Structure 1
Amino acid sequence: MDGAFLPLVVFCYFIYTSITSFILSIVLLIRYTLSQFYTFFSSRVDDAISLYEGTVIHERRHPVTHSFKTPVRFALIDLDCSSYIPPNHLSAQEARSIAGTNGPVHLLTMPPSVGYQRSPLSLYYCYDGQQSLDNTLGHCIAEVTNSPWGEQVRFIFNPNSDLVAKSLHISPFMDMLGDWHMRAKAPGNSLSVSILVKHPELGNYFTASLTAKKLEITSNIDYALFFWLKPQIGAILTYWQSFQLMLKNIQFIEHPRYKNPGYIEENLKAAKERGCCVAFPTGDSKNNPEFEGRERWFSWTSVKWPWI
């Protein structure tokens, strides 16, 4: 997609998504009303799905200070046991094969709502151990999607602490030079994820964090209502924050693929020199020694439309 047509495409997708979400919201309201009288229309509780509610915080320190908080809701899905598997995600077996683990795999994501899917960051928690009481978090797989370009990168990382090469143009207000310092706490009654951007010139100038609490699920929970319009609201807030950054005269950086189609390969080549492409430095992979010194696993795909 040519960068000159990107604003028009985003606008058309916005109109399409608004109309689709409005129609499907009416359908959802009708179904929910019927469910109050007929159990056939009621949502079934899935014991393999846990619900979390919390806050995402973004904080930029250079070249200007800018921060904001966003309330979020996530689903944690046991991919081996759940009857519901969100579209366009890895299966449990695929995740285990990538991570080199042999235990359960739990997916943290924001499910689609009334025809729209948007989860900028999804995480696969890959555990070691066959017995639930013996499970330990082995590795994580991150699934990062950029808007509105519709690209997705997946990579493995050590949840305790890891430095990962930035391999995707996430924001038009950030260049490709920063690397991601990532941490993820195993989900329980609470969970947390933090990403710190380490930049060669600006230093640690940007952080993004998620903290959330597990909710008690009642027998009459309606998943569709719980996540109603959450992806859409997230998209609107993202563009609103981008507008505020433009007002602060932050440099707008065009997607590098428009000028250099091979930017991904060049970026990873430079990252290898910084040590960001090694999955786990020697001695930092206690559960899976075979990963030590190995080049980090990455994959790139295009996200199904609409993805604004």
Structure 2
Amino acid sequence: MELFLLLCSMVSTFVSSFLLSVLLVIRSLPLYSINLSPQPDGATARIYEGSVRHSRTKPVANSFEYPVRYALFDLDSAPQISHLSADRAREAAGTNGPVFLLTIPASVGYEQNPLRVYYCYHFDGKVEEGGEVSSRLKNCIAEVTNTPWGEKVFFVFSPGSDLVAKPLHVSPFMDMLGNWKLRVDEPGEKLYVAISVQHPTLGNYFNATLSADRVQSSSTSSSLNMYFWLMPHKVALWIYWQAVKLWWKNVPFIAHPKYSNATYRDEALCRNDELKLSCKAGECVACEEDGEGTSRTRWCTWRDAQWPWS
């Protein structure tokens, strides 16, 4: 069934993307104005270009790297993008400042974002030169989507370094055991995101990184459409191709836990509680105090991803 859904998704995406690509060319002509993008005109985006690298060591070695393009939006001025609202992100992260979303924008009707990051800033009351109130990056929110199951999970984490029990079946070649160790640097001229898997029997066997440089800013939907043309499709193609390679290397296929264990999400939350308990002994950073004298409670929620995986 999962393979059938994947094939249907690929065929549907190919047909719709081809037709919309033709319309995108027509839209570039001065006589036409066809809106194919969810990005509103006037929503300035910081554009980053770099690469994503995946590396695993067990049960077989496999690594790959591919080029990517990302956009960083100020959510308070980009209300039409599919995302958590800025207010909802602030509520979940416990912040009161700006919220920026790192994402691969949809292209010709298709969206593929294995990971989105919300950067949530907090005003600390300090006044800088010029009279502006300073803000700092306090928390981040990860939005992880799996394909082709059409599920996503949101959870809050500390940007410097954090540890969270794995809450989502992302790859059919990884089980639900283990933790995700996350590190996110504040976005500036450079961008860096790192996730590694800490498994109880396989050890630290998987690492994924995003490294990118800021290249330009864009404030028009037409320029975003052209710059990110087929970028989501390329990401999906690289993911599926690597899955084929792992299958060819006889890496065991692991079915989605929902077919055998209806409580797998609750178990993930319980394992995260265990991380919090170990935090009190200073063994991890997952629930250290937030600097204001209160212990953090991790916000985590699951949702169905809208077709096609947005």
Both structures adopt the same fold (TM-score exceeding 0.5): yes
Distance, in Å, in 1 between the alignment partners of 2:115 and 2:232 is 12
> Which residue of 1 is the match for residue 106 of structure 2?
112
> Which residue of 1 is the match for residue 269 of structure 2?
268
> Which residue of 2 is the match for residue 103 of structure 1?
97
Distance, in Å, in 2 between the alignment partners of 1:276 and 1:6 is 37
Distance, in Å, in 2 between the alignment partners of 1:14 and 1:40 is 25
- Letter of the 1:124 counterpart: Y
Q: Give the Å deviation of 1:80.
A: 1.2
Task: Tell whether the 8 Å contact from 2:287 to 2:297 is kept in structure 1 after alignment.
Answer: no
> Which residue of 1 is the match for residue 245 of structure 2?
244
Distance, in Å, in 2 between the alignment partners of 1:156 and 1:274 is 14
- Letter of the 2:298 counterpart: R
Q: Does 1:281 align with 2:266?
A: no
Distance, in Å, in 2 between the alignment partners of 1:272 and 1:231 is 35
Give the secondary structure class of the aligned counterpart of 2:24. Answer: helix
Give the secondary structure class of the aligned counterpart of 1:222. Answer: helix
Matching residue within 38, 49, 66 for 2:62: 66
Distance, in Å, in 2 between the alignment partners of 1:7 and 1:121 is 22
Q: Does 1:121 align with 2:115?
A: yes
Tell me the alpha carbon deviations over residues 237-281 of structure 1, each in whole angstroms, 9 at most, x when there is no partner.
Answer: 101000000111111111111111111112322332233897843
Distance, in Å, in 2 between the alignment partners of 1:177 and 1:67 is 21
Deviates more, 1:123-132 or 1:195-204: 123-132
Matching residue within 47, 53, 61 for 1:57: 53
Distance, in Å, in 1 between the alignment partners of 2:173 and 2:218 is 42
Q: Give the Å deviation of 1:117.
A: 1.3
Q: Give the Å deviation of 1:66.
A: 0.6
User: Cα gap change, 1:260/1:47 in structure 2, threshold over 3 Å: closer, same or farther?
Assistant: closer
- Letter of the 2:299 counterpart: W
> Which residue of 2 is the match for residue 229 of structure 1?
230
User: Cα gap change, 1:277/1:168 in structure 2, threshold over 3 Å: closer, same or farther?
Assistant: farther
Distance, in Å, in 1 between the alignment partners of 2:98 and 2:260 is 42
Distance, in Å, in 1 between the alignment partners of 2:150 and 2:73 is 24
Task: Tell whether the 8 Å contact from 2:49 to 2:212 is kept in structure 1 after alignment.
Answer: yes
Runs of 4+ in 1 over 4 A off after TM superposition: 37-41, 130-133, 218-221, 276-280
CA RMSD of aligned residues (A): 2.5
Q: Give the Å deviation of 1:219.
A: 8.0
> Which residue of 2 is the match for residue 203 of structure 1?
203
Aligned residues: 296
Percent identity over the alignment is 46
- Letter of the 1:31 counterpart: R
- Letter of the 1:120 counterpart: P
Matches within 5 A, 1:1-308: 5-32=1-28, 34-35=29-30, 46=42, 48-82=44-78, 85-87=80-82, 89-129=83-123, 134-217=134-217, 222-275=223-276, 280-283=286-289, 285-286=290-291, 288-290=292-294, 292=295, 294-307=296-309
Distance, in Å, in 2 between the alignment partners of 1:276 and 1:27 is 55
TM-score (norm: length of structure 1): 0.89
Task: Tell whether the 8 Å contact from 1:141 to 1:155 is kept in structure 2 after alignment.
Answer: yes
Give the secondary structure class of the aligned counterpart of 1:281. Answer: coil
TM-score (norm: length of structure 2): 0.88
- Letter of the 1:139 counterpart: N
Task: Tell whether the 8 Å contact from 1:167 to 1:264 is kept in structure 2 after alignment.
Answer: yes
Give the secondary structure class of the aligned counterpart of 1:13. Answer: helix
User: Cα gap change, 1:90/1:276 in structure 2, threshold over 3 Å: closer, same or farther?
Assistant: farther
Task: Tell whether the 8 Å contact from 1:271 to 1:277 is kept in structure 2 after alignment.
Answer: no
> Which residue of 1 is the match for residue 282 of structure 2?
none
Structure 1 stretches of 5 or more lacking a match?
none
Q: Give the Å deviation of 1:29.
A: 0.5
Task: Tell whether the 8 Å contact from 1:268 to 1:277 is kept in structure 2 after alignment.
Answer: no
Distance, in Å, in 2 between the alignment partners of 1:69 and 1:276 is 36
Distance, in Å, in 2 between the alignment partners of 1:167 and 1:235 is 21
Distance, in Å, in 1 between the alignment partners of 2:164 and 2:271 is 12
Q: Give the Å deviation of 1:110.
A: 0.8
Tell me the alpha carbon deviations over residues 185-228 of structure 1, each in whole angstroms, 9 at most, x when there is no partner.
Answer: 11111110000111111111100000111112378871101111
